């Protein structure tokens, strides 16, 4: 089974621009979560989607948004980029929840975003 | 709130040495616990997991036991190799409502020297 794929792998943008990152989950997985990884803040949860619905959102400004399509692929968008948005953005997929327990999340290779 | 604390790195060991990376957690519910590993330039790979107290997760010679009484999930390996050099993250998942986001520790860098 193919793993989680993310495109593009690398992006360079300038302040004020917007960016869209894409994530294709493992086949059969309906839950997609996004995380931001920076040297200063570590790994932080952005949001989670399940069956095209956002189920949870982390503590990030409204410039960060996402969506999920009917085939479970997900995109996240960051508008009005700031220097501090430079980070590795990781997508993870899972089967979701069952019996009150979360299924394991499997991560993609990430998209490295650099904001100049 | 829920949180994970890992020992500070970097940890530098010689090949074939014994490894322990400490991880403790705070959680309001009954979390599942995970260790993920990140190699340079890559995403996170699941190393092992445990879903309830006293469970032992194991993979590739690594082990960790879910200790509810000490709220710990320490990672161990009997004999490390140079190829084990990476950043190791302890994480928990406490399902809340219908979501199960991961909360990570700050990561511990392991460097193994030949």
The pLDDT value given to residue A104? 87
**Coil, strand or helix: which one is A83?**
helix
pLDDT (tens digit, 9 = 90+) per residue, A11-22? 999 999 999 999
Please list, in sequence order, all residues whose beta carbon lies within 8 angstroms of the beta carbon of residue A87, skipping any fewer than 6 positions away. Answer: A36, A37, A38, A113
- The rounded percent of chain B whose pLDDT value lies above 90 is 78
Torsion of CA A37, A39, A41, A43, to 10 degrees: 30
The pLDDT value given to residue B94? 77
B46 vs B60: CA distance, rounded Å:
11
pLDDT (tens digit, 9 = 90+) per residue, A84-104? 999 999 999 998 776 666 778
Find the CB nearest B100 among A102, A107, A108: A102
Inter-residue contact A91 to A34 (CB < 8 Å): yes
A45 vs B101: CA distance, rounded Å:
7
Mean pLDDT over all residues of chain B?
Answer: 93
**Coil, strand or helix: which one is B66?**
coil
The pLDDT value given to residue B99? 66
The pLDDT value given to residue A95? 86
- Answer yes or no: do B93 and A90 touch at CB < 8 A: no
Say how many CB pairs under 8 Å bridge A and B: 67
pLDDT (tens digit, 9 = 90+) per residue, B65-113? 999 999 999 999 999 999 999 999 999 987 766 567 899 999 999 999 9
- For A:18-57, CB contacts with B below 8 A are 33, 35, 42-43, 45, 48, 50, 55-56
Count of CB atoms within 10 A of residue A31's CB? 25
Residue A95 at interface with chain B, using a CB cutoff of 8 Å: no
pLDDT (tens digit, 9 = 90+) per residue, A27-62? 999 999 999 999 989 999 999 999 899 988 999 999
The pLDDT value given to residue A98? 64
The pLDDT value given to residue A99? 62
> How far lies B94's CA from each of A62, A107, B28, B46, B105, in Å?
25, 18, 8, 17, 14
Does the pLDDT at position B29 exceed 90?
Answer: no
């Amino acid at each position: 089974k193919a793993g989680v794929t993310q495109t593009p792998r690398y992006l360079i943008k300038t302040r004020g621009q917007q960016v869209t990152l894409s994530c294709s989950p493992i086949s059969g997985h309906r839950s997609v979560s996004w995380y931001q990884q920076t040297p200063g803040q570590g790994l932080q949860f952005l949001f989670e989607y399940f069956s095209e619905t956002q189920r949870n959102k982390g503590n990030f400004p409204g410039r960060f948004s996402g969506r999920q399509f009917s085939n479970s692929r997900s995109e996240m968008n960051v508008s009005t980029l700031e220097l501090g948005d430079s980070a590795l953005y990781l997508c993870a997929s899972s089967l979701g929840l069952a019996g009150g327990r979360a299924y394991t999340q499997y991560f993609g290779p990430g998209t490295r975003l650099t904001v100049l | 709130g829920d949180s994970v604390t890992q020992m500070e790195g970097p940890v530098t060991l010689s090949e074939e040495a014994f490894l322990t990376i400490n991880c403790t957690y705070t959680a309001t519910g009954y979390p599942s616990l995970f260790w993920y590993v990140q190699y340079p330039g890559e995403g996170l790979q699941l190393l092992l997991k445990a879903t309830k107290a006293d469970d032992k997760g194991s993979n590739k010679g690594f082990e960790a036991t879910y200790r509810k009484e000490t709220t710990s999930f320490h990672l161990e390996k009997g004999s490390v190799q140079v190829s084990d050099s990476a950043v190791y993250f302890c994480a928990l998942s406490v399902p809340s409502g219908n979501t199960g986001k991961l909360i990570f520790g700050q990561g511990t860098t392991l460097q193994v020297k030949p």
